[in-house]
Amino acid sequence: MASDEILEELLNVEVELQDVQDQIKLLLDQQDKLYQRQSELKAVLEQCNESTEPVENGGPAPVEDWSGSFEWDAEADNVRFNVFGISKYRANQREIINAAMSGRDVLVIMAAGGGKSLCYQLPAILRNGTALVVSPLLSLIQDQVMGLAALGIPASMLTSTTNKEEEKYIYKALEKGDADLKILYVTPEKISKSKRFMSKLEKCHHAGRLSLISIDEAHCCSQWGHDFRPDYKNLGILKTQFPDVPMIAVTATATKKVQIDLMEMLHIPRCVKFVSTVNRPNLFYMVREKSSIGKVVINDIAAYIRGSYPKNESGIVYCFSRKECELVAKELRDIGISAEYYHADMDVNAREKVHLRWSKGKLQVIVGTVAFGMGINKPDVRFVIHHSLSKSMETYYQESGRAGRDGLHSECLLFYRPADVPRQSSMVFYENCGLQNLYDIVRYCWSKSQCRRGAFFRHFAEPLQNCNGMCDICASPREVKEYDVSSHASIIVSVLQDTQNNDQRLTMLQLVEKLKTKIKDLDPELKRDEMEQLVIQLILDRVLKEEFQHTAYSTNAYVTLGPLAKQVAQGKKAIKFEICTQQKSRSGQWSARCGKRSLTSSGLPLKLDELRKEIASAHEGLLPHSVLSTQQISMLSVEKPDTLEKLEGMIGKLKTGKYGAKILDEIKKYMDSEHQCQDTSANEQGGEHMAKKQKTRKTLVVIDSDDEDDK
């Protein structure tokens, strides 16, 4: 067989292979759905078999209504408001609490910042005894225990840092029940490795004092999840040992596959499942073209932070590598932005220090790698910037989702340039579906006309919801024109064909370099980054593909011919390329968001923000948002309560008892200074007014006198 015949057959085989892979993907999705339905049906069947109550008229079992009235309603409302200072439940919270209070196992999938903690903390307080909470990270546990202590809720933690005395106290509380311990946090290692702890827990359960078990960040159980922790695999033992204790497993993201896995691993096949939307309506998503000059990117980031967040509002900048983190942090600092880097190469203490300074609002920006992840509990992160694209939509959803956990307006900005794609692809190509996942987020970045939020709904297989203008595309739709670039594509294919015939390979940058002269003749207007993007698009369209070669130090990505290259070469496949014809000016882009002033940037909100920071810094470990949430600050700034009773009606008994006097004092001071200002300006205005009046009167007088004279 001649080599071109072999090549032709090879190309055909590759096209067929791709088709087969697409079909496998479809079948796997279908399998997922069937597994899901199977477990639902099994659960319903078991429920029907177990139900002792005769079903009325032989009809189907009644649907469980978790939003109805329950005997604990009044007490739950009281704790919610007077202890947690939360004025109303968010979506699904009440139902989840009711299911857990009814003794059911519950699986909760709720977006970051949705308020999952309340779903297990509130029942833990209402039920008799001690609740056990398993959480993966020390920093998360410390934040939670500190937050609960600030609310006066007896909570402790049993981790590698717990001293002997504290451990003794906790063990005694579990064994004898003679100390007040409502919530006990442990790391999963305690369950899998400490026999002593398990035996104490057994005693606590035996005495009927183990009220609830909660598994926070439950996705860590599943190998299919994004953050698998081996010790989470053993948590199934809890349900085996304590079958009658309700379990609440909570996580922010779990695909259907992960959900099924969790139910199996935790032994909660009959759990009530609450899946909330992935939508984060308060997040504004945007993508910006990234300059090829590093300094320009830094200047753009700095200008954005300065322009939109001049009052030191907190943010995160995610970078691709540790080296890049250090560089970006330094350059931002040089420009005058308070920024520090955070990555896995630093020792634990240094990382902790940076994290704590940022949590307390003493540092504006953390520049981190993906290592800055799950432990972030700060609710008022106002912006998350990606200096380079993430490796998948899921990773981007999680990283950007660290913004606005308090529900207030926050922004997620991603800097995209095509040349960043090969850097990521050479890292992810060995992962299962790694390249496909990366190409999905590349589509998100390059899209000129599709709502950014819609991309998340499609990715998580959720029905579309309105974006309400909360992404750059919906907020300021651009005029997009589609160009036929089939001739460009055919030149690219022929260049690569020649290269391959000479047994050579090209990286994307080398390819674009070669194309510069060839395509310039055809299209002198085409810019370099558009040429790069065209190559990327041809990879997404399977006309080209990436291949990887390992060297001692790195993995290089090369661009080669893909399964559909031949069709393009033969003119059988048209290639379209979207370009914005009406690109908004830079100032136009930024000014679109300028109306959104920060909440705590001036006036009374600023004063109350300073007060919460002052109170927090006077109490070791207490974080400002535990004193007053940003939402509470905005409510107080509008209502301006002047008595403890009114204040209590807004932030509850507990916070009023602790900080009420200081808050009222701050509001009063502010109001007095406002009145003074008003008086002064009224005087000034009054003076002006008088002067004007006199002037007028003078005129009048003149007229009057004239009148008089006339008389």
Cα 610 to the chain's mean position, in Å?
26
CB of 613 to Mg ion, least distance (A): 23
CA distances from 69 to 194, 241, 355 (A): 41, 32, 43
CB of 250 to ligand ATP, least distance (A): 7
Q: Nearest to ligand ATP by Cβ — which residue? A: 115
Between 100 and 328, name the residue whose CB sits nearer to Mg ion.
Answer: 100
Between 111 and 470, name the residue whose CB sits nearer to Mg ion.
Answer: 111
214 binding ligand ATP? (CB under 6 A): no
Centre a 10 Å sphere on the Cβ of residue 321 and count the other Cβ atoms it contains: 13
Query: Of ligand ATP, Mg ion, none, which one sits near residue 89, judging by CB under 5 to 8 A according to partner kind?
Result: ligand ATP
Near ligand ATP in 354-413, by CB under 6 A: 379, 405-406
Among the listed ranges 61-69, 111-119, 420-428, 467-475, the one in contact with ligand ATP (CB under 6 A) is 111-119
Q: Distance between CA atoms of 186 and 63, rounded to whole angstroms?
A: 35
Among the listed ranges 112-120, 385-393, 454-462, 550-558, the one in contact with ligand ATP (CB under 6 A) is 112-120
CA atoms 220, 225, 227, 230: torsion sign: positive
Q: Give me the 630-659 binding string for ligand ATP, x by CB under 6 A, dash otherwise.
A: -x----------------------------
Contacts from 598-601 at CB under 8 Å and sequence distance 24+? 598/308, 598/309, 598/310, 598/311, 598/313, 598/382, 599/408, 599/630, 599/633, 599/634, 600/311, 600/313, 600/630, 600/633, 601/310, 601/311, 601/313
Near ligand ATP in 566-625, by CB under 6 A: 625
Among 70, 90, 428, 548, binds ligand ATP (CB under 6 A): 90
Among the listed ranges 84-92, 188-196, 322-330, 353-361, the one in contact with ligand ATP (CB under 6 A) is 84-92
Among 100, 101, 118, 419, binds ligand ATP (CB under 6 A): 118
Beta strands 544-550; 555-561: pairing state: antiparallel
CB of 249 to Mg ion, least distance (A): 12
Q: Are 558 and 543 in contact (CB under 8 A)?
A: no
Between 142 and 426, name the residue whose CB sits nearer to ligand ATP.
Answer: 142
How does DSSP classify residue 413? E
CB of 533 to ligand ATP, least distance (A): 34
Q: Distance between CA atoms of 306 and 310, rounded to whole angstroms?
A: 5
CB of 175 to ligand ATP, least distance (A): 30
Centre a 10 Å sphere on the Cβ of residue 530 and count the other Cβ atoms it contains: 19
β-partners of residue 471 are 285
Query: Of Mg ion, ligand ATP, none, which one sits near residue 629, judging by CB under 5 to 8 A according to partner kind?
Result: ligand ATP
506 binding ligand ATP? (CB under 6 A): no
Pair of tokens at residue 508:
């994307």
Among the listed ranges 108-116, 271-279, 434-442, 477-485, the one in contact with ligand ATP (CB under 6 A) is 108-116
Query: Of ligand ATP, Mg ion, none, which one sits near residue 115, judging by CB under 5 to 8 A according to partner kind?
Result: ligand ATP
Near Mg ion in 148-167, by CB under 5 A: none
CB of 116 to Mg ion, least distance (A): 5
Between 108 and 667, name the residue whose CB sits nearer to ligand ATP.
Answer: 108
CA distances from 296 to 131, 135, 332, 541 (A): 52, 41, 12, 31
Among the listed ranges 36-44, 82-90, 341-349, 516-524, the one in contact with ligand ATP (CB under 6 A) is 82-90
Beta strands 183-186; 247-251: pairing state: unpaired
Q: Nearest to Mg ion by Cβ — which residue? A: 116
- Of 188, 275, 170, 198, give the one whose Cα is nearest residue 233: 188
Among the listed ranges 9-17, 89-97, 349-357, 520-528, the one in contact with ligand ATP (CB under 6 A) is 89-97
Among 113, 123, 315, 624, binds ligand ATP (CB under 6 A): 113
First to last CA, the chain: 125
- Residues 177-207 as b/e (b if ≥16 CB within 10 A, e otherwise) read beeebbbbbbbbbbbeeeeebeebbeebbee
Query: Of ligand ATP, Mg ion, none, which one sits near residue 330, judging by CB under 5 to 8 A according to partner kind?
Result: none
Query: Of ligand ATP, Mg ion, none, which one sits near residue 245, judging by CB under 5 to 8 A according to partner kind?
Result: none
How many residues touch ligand ATP (CB under 6 A)?
19
Between 215 and 565, name the residue whose CB sits nearer to Mg ion.
Answer: 215
Q: Are 483 and 555 in contact (CB under 8 A)?
A: no
- Of 655, 638, 670, give the one whose Cα is nearest residue 80: 655
Between 188 and 379, name the residue whose CB sits nearer to ligand ATP.
Answer: 379
* 3-state DSSP assignment of residue 383: strand
CB of 311 to ligand ATP, least distance (A): 20
Between 93 and 388, name the residue whose CB sits nearer to ligand ATP.
Answer: 93
Among 629, 648, 656, 660, binds ligand ATP (CB under 6 A): 629
Query: Of ligand ATP, Mg ion, none, which one sits near residue 90, judging by CB under 5 to 8 A according to partner kind?
Result: ligand ATP
Beta strands 555-561; 365-368: pairing state: unpaired
How does DSSP classify residue 564? T
Q: Give me the 101-120 binding string for Mg ion, x by CB under 5 A, dash otherwise.
A: ---------------x----
Among 116, 229, 545, 655, binds ligand ATP (CB under 6 A): 116
CA distances from 599 to 434, 609, 613, 633, 641 (A): 40, 10, 15, 9, 18
Q: Distance between CA atoms of 221 and 263, rounded to whole angstroms?
A: 10
Half-sphere exposure of 104 (CA within 13 A, CB side): 21
Between 119 and 245, name the residue whose CB sits nearer to Mg ion.
Answer: 119
Among 96, 110, 493, 650, binds ligand ATP (CB under 6 A): 110
Those residues with Cβ within 8 angstroms of residue 4's Cβ, 6 or more apart along the chain or in another chain: none
Query: Of ligand ATP, Mg ion, none, which one sits near residue 113, judging by CB under 5 to 8 A according to partner kind?
Result: ligand ATP
Centre a 10 Å sphere on the Cβ of residue 251 and count the other Cβ atoms it contains: 24
Those residues with Cβ within 8 angstroms of residue 587's Cβ, 6 or more apart along the chain or in another chain: none
Among 98, 101, 105, 114, binds ligand ATP (CB under 6 A): 114
Q: Are 575 and 541 in contact (CB under 8 A)?
A: yes
Between 116 and 288, name the residue whose CB sits nearer to Mg ion.
Answer: 116
CB of 100 to Mg ion, least distance (A): 16
Half-sphere exposure of 74 (CA within 13 A, CB side): 1
Query: Of Mg ion, ligand ATP, none, which one sits near residue 308, judging by CB under 5 to 8 A according to partner kind?
Result: none
Between 80 and 116, name the residue whose CB sits nearer to Mg ion.
Answer: 116
Among 137, 150, 221, 252, binds ligand ATP (CB under 6 A): 252
Between 113 and 562, name the residue whose CB sits nearer to ligand ATP.
Answer: 113
108 binding ligand ATP? (CB under 6 A): no
Q: Are 298 and 328 in contact (CB under 8 A)?
A: yes
Among 76, 79, 83, 86, binds ligand ATP (CB under 6 A): 86
Among 76, 112, 184, 599, binds ligand ATP (CB under 6 A): 112
Q: What are phi and psi of 385, to 5 degrees?
A: -110, 135
Q: Could you list the residues that contact ligand ATP (CB under 6 A)?
A: 86, 89-90, 93, 110, 112-118, 252, 379, 405-406, 625, 629, 631
Q: Could you list the residues that contact Mg ion (CB under 5 A)?
A: 116
